[in-house]
Amino acid sequence: MKHKSPLQRLALSFVLGALLLFASGHIDELRAYQGAQAAIFAIAIASIVLLTGYSGQISLGHGALMAIGGYASVIAQLHWHLPYPLAFIVGTAIGALAGFILGITAARLRGPYLAGTTLALAVGLPSLANQFKILGGEQGITVDVGTAPTWIGKEFSQYRWFFWVAVTVALAVFWLLRNLLSTRYGRRWRAVRSNPTAAALSGIDVGRAKVLAFTLSSAVAGLAGSLFAMLLGLVAPLVFTLTLSFTLVTGAVLAGVSNLGGSIVGAVVLVAIPELSGSIASRLGGSEKVTSNLPGVITGVLLILTVLFAPNGPKLPHRKR
């Protein structure tokens, strides 16, 4: 068996990208919006897969890390007047910084203690927005990055442009991560995940590997947060709720936690569930109470089925050994 080279992967990303961007011309705006949302969720879920699936650390607080990235990018746009691509880099960097600090703590914690710490972050962090005026309080800060550059075309809707941006960034992130995971860093993380003691005996600095994984994961989450802020045109405490953090973990479980490519499946499923439940509810003719609770039910059932029957994620076609 042979690995694909980084160049082959790059070619694959380009083909995929071209395919999706071509598709964007043939879908309506709602689908473009959902596609952008799915791409952003895929990035966020990938950050969890990277952390949990590859370095064996757990985080229930990635919604908060997205918030850090989102707020940082919006503030960079509004107060430092940076163009939004640069603001995304700021969001990513601040996310990485937060992840580094958190990672130092995280490397000393295991299992439920780490889960608890990151959970506390998800619960507590959004309320910080009410403490500082620059963060816009409860109703948050609105931002509008505008539409596509005019040379791309005049009749280019904002959501279609967001779809392009999100898909392009997502493919770049997946390409980078995929390559990174087949370097010695990826191998170290897997060694640490499988057996920290054996990894340490093999000369791997376990703490350092864990902090690095946490930092990288947070950077990716920060980037996802920046993109999410672009898509919604809004950062607010109520955007980055505990529910978002749990949703991402759900997506990671649906993806099969140690399966980077599965993140895409997880993200598409998360975006499709409200849509699906909406059409089921309208077919059943149920009341609004049913409609508003159905997504939760479907997510829960899917989660249970996944854990029972496909704990490593959806069965994906793969070549013979």
Partner 1 sequence: MLASRRTKGGIFAAATIAVAALVASALPAHAETGVTSSTIKLGITVPLTGAAAPGYNKIPGAMKAYFDYVNANGGVNGRKIQLVVKDDGYSPATTLSVTNDLILKDKVFALVGTLGTANNEATTRLINSKSVPRLFVNTGFSGFADMKKYPTTFPLFPSYATEAKAMGKYLAENFAGKKVALIYQDDDFGLDAIKGFTTAGTSFVAKIPYSAFSQVDPTTAPKWVTALVAAQADTVIMFGVTSATAVLAGAIYKAGLLGKIQMILGSVGSDGTTLKGLLGPLAPALAGTISASFLPSASDATDEYITLFKSINAQYNAGAVFDNNILTGMNTAMMTVQALRAAGTSPTRASLIKAIETKGSTWASASLSPILYSATSHVGYTGYWFGKLGADGNAVSADGPGKYTLYSTDSGSGPVVKAAATRPAMPAKGLPTN
Where along the sequence are the contacts to partner 1 (CB under 8 A)?
1, 3-4, 12, 16, 19-20, 23-24, 26-31, 33-35, 38, 127, 130, 137-140, 142, 144, 158, 174, 178, 181-182, 232-234, 236-239, 241, 258-262, 264-265, 268, 272, 274, 278, 288-289, 291-292, 313-314, 316-319, 321
- Going by the DSSP 8-state scheme, the letter that residue 127 receives in this structure is G
Q: Which is nearer to partner 1, 107 or 227 (CB)?
A: 227
Alpha helices in 144-287 (DSSP H): 158-181, 184-194, 196-201, 206-232, 242-255, 262-284
- Going by the DSSP 8-state scheme, the letter that residue 235 receives in this structure is E
Q: What DSSP line would sit under 195-225, residue for residue?
A: -HHHHHHTT--HHHHHHHHHHHHHHHHHHHH
- Going by the DSSP 8-state scheme, the letter that residue 109 receives in this structure is -
Classify residue 307 by burial, with Cβ atoms within 10 Å: 0-12, 13-18, 19+. Answer: exposed
- Are residues 242 and 122 in contact, defined by beta-carbon separation less than 8 angstroms? yes
- Are residues 203 and 88 in contact, defined by beta-carbon separation less than 8 angstroms? no
Q: Which is nearer to partner 1, 144 or 205 (CB)?
A: 144
Position 253, amino acid: V
Q: Which is nearer to partner 1, 108 or 284 (CB)?
A: 284
Instruction: Give the nearest distance from C-beta 266 to partner 1 in angstroms.
Output: 9
- Are residues 142 and 78 in contact, defined by beta-carbon separation less than 8 angstroms? no
Instruction: Give the nearest distance from C-beta 310 to partner 1 in angstroms.
Output: 12
How far apart are alpha carbons 33 and 239 in whole angstroms? 16
Instruction: Give the nearest distance from C-beta 143 to partner 1 in angstroms.
Output: 9
Instruction: Give the nearest distance from C-beta 13 to partner 1 in angstroms.
Output: 9
Q: Which is nearer to partner 1, 67 or 204 (CB)?
A: 67
How far apart are alpha carbons 74 and 227 in whole angstroms? 10
Q: Which is nearer to partner 1, 76 or 145 (CB)?
A: 145
How far apart are alpha carbons 115 and 222 in whole angstroms? 19
Instruction: Give the nearest distance from C-beta 113 to partner 1 in angstroms.
Output: 26
* Residue whose pair of structure tokens reads 């599965």 in the numeric block: 262
Instruction: Give the nearest distance from C-beta 260 to partner 1 in angstroms.
Output: 5
Q: Which is nearer to partner 1, 109 or 298 (CB)?
A: 298
- Are residues 284 and 290 in contact, defined by beta-carbon separation less than 8 angstroms? yes
Instruction: Give the nearest distance from C-beta 236 to partner 1 in angstroms.
Output: 6
Q: Which is nearer to partner 1, 27 or 97 (CB)?
A: 27
Q: Which is nearer to partner 1, 73 or 158 (CB)?
A: 158
Instruction: Give the nearest distance from C-beta 238 to partner 1 in angstroms.
Output: 4
